[in-house]
């Protein structure tokens, strides 16, 4: 048994806290919101976000950052991506040199184009920051349904250390050195999932969904390799695996928001309806900026940005994607 903390009491943070407790660790969950902490502490459930998931009596809840971070074997940073940097800045005074922090948010900062681990390290340079990603909806992890993810770290030792905290009979963990590729796949797939949801909202059917997933991973891989990720990563759990589940699952907030937009909701109306952070909205501009910086074609990402921020009609974006210039699927020469 070890003392661990989860910083962030959203559905993902609470689900991971339940998982860590099931692995016999002593878990403390922190939130900035005292009402949220009181609810979790008294009800031992999060009815709005994880209904039916019991929170054990041994699990502690606090708004005291110092209490949450002092003398912890592992810290999981699980706040939504727009709040990762500011939360890391608040954590810094209580973090010892070499402290292992596991980043589980998925996003790219719009202003800096930093991944989440890069933002954390800029605020806490002395930390050892690992990343965990993959097809892993909180609603299923909290209920103990079979899930497989990947952990990335700067050293194999750290990756194995983190893996052993999380892995059990229903939660399988692979490891990789490609943190950058993992984070790019995990954040860019949210933008493609918005497109998949928009397609669903327009009533386009399964053929269109399959095409968006397939061409989406092509766009993600192009950019990921250009930025410095490894091609194999985008064919793995944090790439195509996470993309499939986020584009197709009823639990996906990005797909749900996209579906509402496809049905005529504005971006803000869709986000209000989902009632959780739709991280693809926050990553869309950053994805487009990275594509421009590295001169990578990302037509799906470009159209998502036009729908979200330029009030383009989703049906017009669909038409423009379908009427792009004729192209080969693979950049390989004919034999004759």
**Catalytically active residues, by annotation:** 189
Residue 96: CB atoms within 10 A of its CB come to 11
Let me know: does 160 contact 130? Beta carbons within 8 Å: no
Q: Which of 290, 324, 284 is nearest to 306 (CA)?
A: 284
Q: In this structure, what are the phi and psi dihedrals at residue 61, rounded to the nearest 5 degrees?
A: -130, 140
Alpha helical stretches, state H, the chain:
11-22, 34-43, 65-69, 84-91, 116-123, 138-141, 156-166, 179-202, 206-227, 231-234, 242-248, 253-262, 267-274, 279-293, 299-309, 314-322
Measured between alpha carbons, how far is 144 from 208 in angstroms, rounded to an integer? Answer: 32
Let me know: does 188 contact 181? Beta carbons within 8 Å: no
Measured between alpha carbons, how far is 23 from 46 in angstroms, rounded to an integer? Answer: 21
Question: For the purposes of burial, counting CB atoms within 10 Å of the CB of 69, is it exposed (0-12), middle (13-18) or buried (19 or more)?
Answer: buried
Measured between alpha carbons, how far is 12 from 149 in angstroms, rounded to an integer? Answer: 14
Let me know: does 176 contact 237? Beta carbons within 8 Å: no
Measured between alpha carbons, how far is 61 from 225 in angstroms, rounded to an integer? Answer: 41
Let me know: does 165 contact 278? Beta carbons within 8 Å: no
């Amino acid at each position: 048994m070890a003392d661990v903390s989860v910083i962030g009491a959203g559905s993902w943070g609470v689900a991971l806290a339940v998982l860590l407790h099931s692995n016999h660790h002593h878990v403390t969950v922190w939130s900035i919101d005292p009402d949220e902490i009181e609810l979790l502490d008294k009800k031992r459930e999060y009815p709005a976000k994880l209904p039916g998931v019991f929170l054990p009596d041994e699990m502690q809840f606090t708004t005291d950052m110092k209490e949450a971070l002092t003398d912890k074997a592992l810290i999981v940073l699980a706040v939504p991506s727009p709040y990762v940097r500011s939360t890391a800045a608040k954590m810094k005074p209580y973090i010892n040199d070499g402290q292992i922090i596991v980043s589980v948010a998925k996003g790219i900062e719009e202003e800096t184009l930093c991944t989440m681990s890069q933002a954390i390290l800029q605020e806490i340079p002395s930390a050892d920051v690992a990343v965990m990603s993959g097809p892993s909806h909180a609603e299923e992890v909290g209920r103990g349904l079979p899930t497989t993810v990947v952990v990335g770290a700067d050293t194999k030792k750290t990756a194995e250390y983190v893996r052993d905290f999380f892995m059990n009979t229903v939660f399988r963990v692979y490891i990789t050195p490609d943190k950058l590729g993992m984070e790019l796949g995990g954040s860019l797939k949210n933008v493609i999932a918005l497109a998949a949801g928009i397609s669903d909202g327009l009533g386009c059917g399964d053929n269109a969904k399959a095409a968006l997933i397939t061409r989406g991973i092509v766009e993600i891989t192009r950019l990921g390799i250009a930025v410095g990720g490894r091609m194999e990563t985008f064919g793995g759990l944090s790439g195509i695996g996470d993309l499939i589940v986020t584009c197709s699952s009823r639990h996906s907030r990005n797909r749900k928001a996209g579906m509402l937009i496809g049905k005529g909701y504005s971006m803000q109306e869709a986000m209000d309806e989902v009632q959780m952070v739709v991280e693809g909205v926050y990553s869309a501009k950053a994805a487009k900026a990275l594509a421009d910086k590295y001169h990578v074609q990302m037509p799906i990402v470009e159209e998502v940005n036009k729908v979200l921020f330029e009030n383009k009609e989703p049906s017009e974006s669909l038409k423009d994607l379908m009427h792009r210039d004729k192209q080969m699927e693979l950049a390989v020469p004919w034999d004759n």
